[in-house]
RNA sequence: GGCGCCGUACCCAAGUGGUAAGGGAGAGGUCUGCAAAACCUUUAUGCGGCGGUUCGAAUCCGCCCGGCGCCUCCA
C-alpha cells in the first residue's frame, strides 16, 4: 500500500504524490522563541520528525524547512511576545531569541529530532516579507492605512476553506478591534507600523514597522521551497487563523496553489485540558527530562497517533518508560547473544518471519504515519525474539544480526527510539568503565562457582547502588544502567 | 452562539463494517542459589447511553449525556 496522509484541506486520507518525482518539500511552523519548549512542542516536532524520517526512508529527497519566529508574534494587547519577554528579563529581544533558539535545539536534539535542513529566522527575512507585501498591494489584495498594511480578506473567496468556516461565521466570532482602521474585522496585518517605543523595527515603503505574524511563513516557505510545494505542517491550533492567512497571502501573491498537503498534529493535554504557555499548565521539556529520559518522552509521544490528543501524566510517562525498557532489554539481550553465538559458532537459522514484521510495520506507517501501531508490531516481534533467545542456540549469529539490523532499521532509522549501534551499549561510558564492570562480573562469577552467595550478592548490590544492574543469563551475566 | 473533534479495561492507547492491537499496572505459573530479565496463562461477551440501518457495528445514521479544541496569542 502506498503512503497515505490525512490532508486537512480535504479532510481525507489521500495517497501521497509529491510535486516532483522523488523529492519532497516540507515546511513546518517552528517555535516562537520567547520561552523554553514544553511537552506540546515536543509532540509537534517529534511528529514531524517521524514524517520527515519516514519520507526519507521511502527514498524521497526531503527538504525540510522550519522557521524560527523571532518577531511579529503579538499578544492580545498588541505587544510583541519577544519584546514582552525582553522587558521581563531586561535584555534585548534578540538576546531572548538567541538564548531560546539554542534551548530549543538542545531539547530537540535530546529528543532525537533530526534538525531541519533550513531553520530560517523571521527577522532575517524582512526584505522577502516586504517584497511579498508589495506584491499583494500591487495586485490589489491589500491596502495601506497609517503605515500599516492589511490583507483584504473579501478579495480571496477561498478564505476559510482550510478551517472550514465561512466569511459570515468569522464575523460573528471576531472580537471588536481596538484599532478600527481595518476595512473588515477579518482582515489581518501584513505589516504593522511601529510605535515609537517599539524595539524591533525595520524601514519599509510604509515607514518604520515590523512584519505581521503570518507573512513570515509565506515568505520563507516560498523562498526555499518554491511557490508551490508538498507539505505544510503545524499545530492544529494554528489551523486558524495562521494557516488560513498563509494560504490567502501566498495564493493571492503568486496565483499558485501553495502547499498541497496540510498536516496538523494534535495537542498535548493535562487532565484533559490543553497544555499551553498561556494557560500556564505546561511542563517544559527540560523539567520533564529531569524525571524521564528524553527517549522515554519521545517514545511516549510516539505511542499515540499524531492526530490524537495525548494526555500527559507522570503515570502515563512511567508506563512508557517501562515499555521502552522492555524493548531495550530485548535489544540488549539480542546484542549480547550475538557475541555469544559468534564464540559458540551456532549455525541454525532463527525461525522468525522478519519480512512479515517489516511489512506490517511499514503498512502501519503508510497509513498516515501510525506510529503506535508500528510500535505494537515491534513489541510483537520482541516477544518472539525473547522466546528465541531463551532457547539455547537455536539460531546462528548471522540470523541474530539480521534481527538486530531490522530493529535498527525500523526502531532506529524510522522511529528514532533505538539509538545504539550493536556494541555501543556496552561501551556507552567509555571502554575503561565497561572493562571494570566486566572485571567485577568475572570476580562475581568466581564467587558464584564457589557458592559464595553473600559475596556474589554484595557485588551485585554495590553495583546497583552505583546505578549498574546485573542480570544473570544462561550464557553469562549482562549489565545495564538503572 | 458558530465550526470541529473526542469518549475503547485500573492507567496510556491502536482499531472507521466482519466479530476488541500493543504497552503499563494486577493475578497465577515456568526458569533462577536468590534477584532481575524473559516466557506462558489471565484481566472489556464488550468499545459513554438509547434507538436505527445491516446477515453482521467500537466502526455508518439519529438523539441524548460527558469532555475538549478553534472562533483571540499558543505546537
Question: What is the spatial distance between Cα A216 and Cα A65, in angstroms, rounded to a whole number?
Answer: 13
Greater model confidence, A71 or A322: A322
Q: Which residue has the cell 490583507?
A: A151
ipTM of this complex: 0.95
Asked whether the CA dihedral A152, A154, A155, A161 is positive or negative, the reply is: positive
Per-residue pLDDT band for A430 (boundaries 50, 70, 90) equals low
Q: Is residue A475 classed exposed, middle or buried when 0-12, 13-18 and 19+ CB atoms within 10 A define those classes?
A: middle
Checking if the pLDDT of A388 tops 60, the result is yes
- CA angle A238/A240/A242 to nearest 5° reads 60
Question: A361: which residues sit within 8 A by CB, 6+ positions away?
Answer: A374, A377, A378, A410
A8 touches A239 (CB < 8 A)? yes
The DSSP 8-state label assigned to residue A369 in this structure reads: -
- Which nt is closest to the CA of A470, judged by C1'? B36
Q: Which nucleotide has the shortest C1'-to-CA distance from A315?
A: B11
Q: Which CATH class is domain A314-424?
A: mainly alpha
State what percent of residues in chain A have pLDDT above 90.
67
- Tell me the per-residue pLDDT of A11-61, one tens digit each, with 9 for 90 and over: 889 999 999 999 999 999 999 998 999 999 999 999 999 999 999 999 999
Percent of chain A with pLDDT over 70: 93
Tell me where in chain A the CATH 1.20.120.640 domain(s) lie.
314-424
Q: Is the pLDDT of residue A394 over 90?
A: no
Question: What is chain A's alpha carbon radius of gyration, rounded to the nearest angstrom?
Answer: 27
Is A379 within 7 A of strand B by CB distance? yes
A411 touches strand B (CB under 7 A): no
| pLDDT (0 to 100) of residue A386 | 94
> Does nucleic acid strand B have an atom less than 7 angstroms from the CB of A304?
yes
- Per-residue flag: A179 CB under 7 A of strand B: no
Calpha distance A286→A289 (Å, rounded): 5
What b/e sequence results for A408-439 when a residue is b if at least 16 CB atoms lie within 10 Å of its CB, and e otherwise? bebbbebbbbbebeeeebbeeeeeeebeebee
A268-270 sheet: strands from edge to edge: A273-274, A268-270, A310-312
Beta carbon of A456 within 7 Å of strand B? yes
Q: Which nucleotides of B are covered by protein (CB under 7 A)?
A: 1-5, 11-15, 21-25, 32-40, 67-75
DSSP symbol at A242: I
How high is the pLDDT of residue A90?
86
Q: Is the CB of A464 under 7 A from strand B?
A: no
Average pLDDT in the A199-225 region? 94
Residues 38-97 of A with CB under 7 A from strand B: 38, 40-41, 43-44, 69, 73-76, 81
Q: Is the dihedral of CA A431, A434, A436, A439 positive or negative?
A: negative
Q: Which nucleotide is nearest to A312 (CA to C1')?
A: B12
> Which pLDDT belongs to residue A361?
97
| Residue A138 Cβ < 7 Å to strand B | no
> Which pLDDT score, from 0 to 100, does residue A347 have?
76
**Beta bridge partner(s), residue A144:** A149
- Whole-number mean pLDDT of chain A? 89
Strand B contact at CB of residue A409, distance < 7 A: no
pLDDT the model gives residue A429: 52
pLDDT digits (tens, 9 = 90+) for A69-116: 998 666 656 677 778 888 888 888 899 999 999 999 999 999 999 999
Under CATH, what is the fold of the domain A4-294?
Rossmann fold (3.40.50)
More confident residue, A391 or A284: A284
From start to end of A302-444, where are the E strands? 310-312
Q: Is the pLDDT of residue A150 over 80?
A: yes
The pLDDT tens digits for A263-311 are 999 999 988 889 987 788 889 999 999 999 999 999 999 999 999 999 9
A178 CB contact with strand B at below 7 Å: no
The answer to whether strand B lies under 7 Å from the CB of residue A329 is: yes
A368 neighbors A307 (Cβ within 8 angstroms): yes
How distant is C1' of B19 from CA of A323, in Å? 29
pLDDT for A1 equals 74
Nucleotide of closest approach to A453 (CA, C1'):
B33
Nucleotide nearest to A318 (CA to C1'): B24
The nucleotide minimizing the C1' distance to residue A281's CA is B74
A391 touches strand B (CB under 7 A): no
Which nucleotide lies at the shortest CA–C1' distance from A13?
B16
Distance CA A32, CA A235 (A): 13
| Phi, psi (deg, nearest 5) at residue A62 | -100, 130
Q: Are strands A23-28 and A61-66 parallel, antiparallel or unpaired?
A: parallel
pLDDT of residue A169: 61
User: What is the distance between the alpha carbons of residues A248 and A386, in angstroms, rounded to a whole number?
Assistant: 55
The answer to whether strand B lies under 7 Å from the CB of residue A410 is no
Q: Where in chain A is the domain with CATH 3.40.50.620?
A: 4-294
- Report residues 207-266 of A contacting strand B, contact meaning Cβ closer than 7 Å: 213, 234-242, 265
Q: What is the mean pLDDT of residues A162-189?
A: 68
A90 or A321: which leads in pLDDT: A321
Average pLDDT (A409-422) is: 87
Q: Label residue A179 by pLDDT band (50, 70, 90).
A: low
Nucleotide with C1' nearest the A38 CA = B75
Amino acid at each position: 500500500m502506498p503512503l497515505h496522509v490525512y490532508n486537512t484541506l480535504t479532510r481525507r486520507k489521500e495517497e501521497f504524490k509529491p510535486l516532483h518525482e522523488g523529492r519532497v518539500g516540507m515546511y513546518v511552523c517552528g517555535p516562537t522563541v520567547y520561552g523554553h519548549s514544553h511537552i506540546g512542542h515536543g509532540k509537534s516536532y517529534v511528529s514531524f520528525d517521524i514524517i520527515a524520517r519516514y519520507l526519507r526512508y521511502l527514498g524521497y529527497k526531503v527538504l525540510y524547512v522550519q522557521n524560527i519566529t523571532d518577531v511579529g508574534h503579538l499578544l492580545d494587547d498588541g505587544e510583541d511576545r519577544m519584546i514582552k519577554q525582553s522587558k521581563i528579563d531586561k535584555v534585548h529581544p534578540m538576546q531572548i531569541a538567541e538564548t531560546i533558539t539554542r534551548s530549543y535545539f538542545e531539547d530537540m536534539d535530546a529528543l532525537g529530532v533530526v534538525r531541519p535542513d533550513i531553520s530560517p529566522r523571521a527577522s532575517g527575512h524582512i526584505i522577502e516579507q516586504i517584497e511579498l507585501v508589495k506584491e499583494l498591494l500591487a495586485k490589489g489584495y491589500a491596502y495601506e492605512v497609517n503605515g500599516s498594511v492589511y490583507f483584504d480578506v473579501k478579495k480571496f473567496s477561498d478564505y476559510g476553506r482550510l478551517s472550514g468556516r465561512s466569511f459570515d461565521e468569522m464575523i460573528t466570532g471576531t472580537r471588536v478591534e481596538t484599532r478600527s482602521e481595518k476595512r473588515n474585522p477579518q482582515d489581518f496585518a501584513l505589516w504593522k507600523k511601529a510605535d515609537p517605543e517599539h524595539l524591533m523595527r525595520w524601514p519599509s515603503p510604509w515607514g518604520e514597522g515590523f512584519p505581521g505574524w503570518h507573512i513570515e511563513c509565506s515568505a520563507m516557505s516560498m523562498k526555499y521551497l518554491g511557490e508551490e510545494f508538498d507539505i505544510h505542517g503545524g499545530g492544529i491550533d494554528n489551523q486558524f487563523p495562521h494557516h488560513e492567512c498563509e494560504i490567502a497571502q501566498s495564493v493571492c501573491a503568486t496565483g499558485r496553489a501553495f502547499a498541497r498537503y496540510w498536516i496538523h498534529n494534535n495537542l498535548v493535554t493535562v487532565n484533559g485540558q490543553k497544555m499551553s504557555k498561556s494557560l500556564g499548565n505546561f511542563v517544559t521539556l527540560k523539567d520533564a527530562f529531569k524525571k524521564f529520559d528524553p527517549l522515554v518522552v519521545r517514545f511516549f509521544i510516539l505511542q499515540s497517533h499524531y492526530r490524537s490528543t495525548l494526555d500527559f501524566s507522570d503515570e502515563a510517562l512511567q508506563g512508557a518508560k517501562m515499555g521502552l525498557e522492555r524493548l531495550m532489554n530485548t535489544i540488549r539481550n539480542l546484542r549480547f547473544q550475538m557475541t555469544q553465538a559468534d564464540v559458540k559458532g551456532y549455525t541454525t537459522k532463527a525461525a522468525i518471519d522478519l519480512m512479515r514484521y517489516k511489512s506490517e510495520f511499514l503498512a502501519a506507517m503508510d497509513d498516515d504515519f501510525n506510529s503506535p501501531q508500528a510500535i505494537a508490531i515491534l513489541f510483537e516481534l520482541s516477544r518472539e525474539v525473547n522466546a528465541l533467545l531463551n532457547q539455547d542456540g537455536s539460531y546462528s549469529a548471522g540470523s541474530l544480526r539480521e534481527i538486530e539490523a531490522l530493529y535498527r532499521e525500523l526502531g532506529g532509522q524510522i522511529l528514532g527510539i533505538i539509538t545504539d549501534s550493536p556494541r555501543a551499549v556496552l561501551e556507552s561510558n567509555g571502554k575503561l568503565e565497561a572493562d571494570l564492570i566486566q572485571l567485577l562480573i568475572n570476580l562475581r562469577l568466581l564467587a558464584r562457582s564457589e557458592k559464595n552467595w553473600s559475596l556474589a550478592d554484595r557485588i551485585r548490590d554495590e553495583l546497583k547502588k552505583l546505578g549498574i544492574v546485573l542480570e544473570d543469563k544462561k550464557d553469562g551475566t549482562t549489565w545495564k544502567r538503572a
